[in-house]
Structure 1
Amino acid sequence: MDVNENDNNMDNQVLDLVKTAPNVIGQIYQDLAQPGVQAVGKALGTVFEFSTSFLLPVKLLNEKFKLNFTKRLNEYKEKLEKVPEEKRCEVHPQIGTPIVEKLSYTTTDEIADLFTTLLANASNVDKVNVAHPSFVNMIERLSTDEARIIKYLIDSIDVPYCSFRAISNNDGGGFLTIGDHLTLIPYYVSLDYPQNINAYLSNLVSIGVLIDKVGLYKIDKSNYDEICEKNDLNGLKQRLVPTVFKNIEVSKSYYEITSFGRLFIDACIKK
């Protein structure tokens, strides 16, 4: 038997396994008569049909995989049950299939919450318009900390920031940045790696959630004053001016949530 014949036999075995594997809902839930289970089946019926393309029924034969996927499907079921029955709709495979695939291996609760909320909104006739297909890949590009920042932004329209520049004592001038794009986020969001905050904000800019409005600033000074206070601007001046630097100047600006970013937040964060 040549290599091609071996490959063909392997392909046929996989196809036979997929065809004979129990349906996804039946593998997860024993009581198919539960209203919540029926709601999931109706909303994701077509999605699960397409899901056989990435062998979901076969993967569910792995107990560890099944436990994680069951947890995520139950989280979705809880959100779906909060949608009035007359408002529920079938999820379009274009958005539902990649979400189900990614939920199957997502072990981080913060990221899974974004996926299940997006899936629940795609199951709601009043919310389906906010469920853009590109949001699936955007979620996959987020870290746990960034998911927490997205949740923090739910009621925001912008993120004010300050940068501290220490002006040299030398006659030639020049400055040293001693605080760059300082925001209030690390003080109000529990981050695993707060030292990465600027990288997180840069990533949110790169995926289109935020835009840096450098050179512009808000008339309301309260947030800027709080940023300076929490980053001990007065203490820095007392320690460094004029012995080390001539002065420490503050530049003010903000990140603005884009219209696409607002749609993303509304689609993926549960209010």
Structure 2
Amino acid sequence: MENEIVDIVKATPNILGEIYKDLAQPSVRAIGNALGTVFEFSTAILLPLKLKNEKLKMTFKKNLDDYKEKLEKIPEEKRCKVHPQLGTPIIEKLTYTTNEEIADMFTTLLANASSVDMVNTAHPSFVSIIERISPDEARIMRCFQYKRDWEYCSYNANLNDAEGFVKLKEHLTLLDDNAKITFPQNMNAYIYNLISLGLLVDMSGEYKIYRENYDAINKKNGLDDLRNELVPQKFKSIDVEESFIRLTPFGRLFLNACIE
């Protein structure tokens, strides 16, 4: 078995040669120049073995083609070699990442790591962050490209027979409509995850003076109907907490590096 693996590795000395027939193409040469050192680290057994699987090879080629298109947009004099610390794990991810939005973030990060002007934005931790977000969360982050703060409302129902309250709903926003997410019921979990990753911050305790978005959130979630249904039958009153979620400086760097 060990000899068989060694034979496979020896038979795949050139990763690009496995993917592209014409290695003389300027665009293919550009990939080789940018990722040469990365491929040296990636040819240690696993990548050559993966490329023997036709499905993985097709996925890798599609993602590498996307990277190639982005690389071509960078002027030749502005291109640089990708550091293996960032490039090697991305290359591994590109063999099996089939979701277009997640793959696009990986290839955008790789392209920015190939640019003299953008390499400073390509933080190595972004590779693991992309791994830990869903396609819906990627769409949510795109919304922060054009709006740094997104308002939210949380509904707290005050108890009839005791002090304290029950949190009925929290972090109700207009993000799910704007981001066109697939699973809006997971919005609260998405927000908590993006906060835990340091991309967003909950500005609880602060609120926006301009009320239009708060009113739109309450109308969308039927606040008046909720009060009519539950007050005073089950609760003394329903209070609305108004605040907003903000993009962090780290989140801004992530957007610049990973989202075109």
TM bracket (short chain): over 0.9
SS at match of 1:132: coil
Out of 161, 174, 192, the position equivalent to 2:164 is 174
CA distance in 2 between partners of 1:49 and 1:58 (Å):
15
Out of 97, 100, 104, the position equivalent to 1:109 is 100
Where structure 1 has 5 or more consecutive residues not aligned to the other structure, the ranges are: 1-9
Where structure 2 has 5 or more consecutive residues not aligned to the other structure, the ranges are: none
Displacement of 1:96: 0.6
C-alpha contact 2:105 2:130 (8 A) present in aligned 1: yes
Identity %: 58
Matched with 2:90 is 99
Matched with 1:205 is 195
TM-score by length of 1: 0.90
Matched with 1:254 is 244
CA distance in 1 between partners of 2:50 and 2:158 (Å):
60
Q: Which amino acid aligns with 1:268?
A: C
TM-score by length of 2: 0.93
1:224 aligns with 2:192: no
SS at match of 1:32: coil
SS at match of 2:30: helix
SS at match of 1:77: helix
Runs of 4+ in 1 over 4 A off after TM superposition: none
Out of 125, 128, 145, the position equivalent to 1:154 is 145
Matched with 2:16 is 25
1:60 aligns with 2:51: yes
Displacement of 1:224: 1.6
1:129 aligns with 2:120: yes
CA distance in 2 between partners of 1:135 and 1:174 (Å):
41
Q: Which amino acid aligns with 1:72?
A: N
Displacement of 1:253: 1.5
Q: Which amino acid aligns with 2:30?
A: A
CA distance in 2 between partners of 1:176 and 1:137 (Å):
36
Residues 199-223 of structure 1 deviation map (CA, whole Å, 9 limit, x = unaligned): 1111111111112222222233222
1:185 aligns with 2:175: yes
Question: What is the aligned length?
Answer: 260
More displaced 10-residue stretch of structure 1: 161-170 or 23-32: 161-170
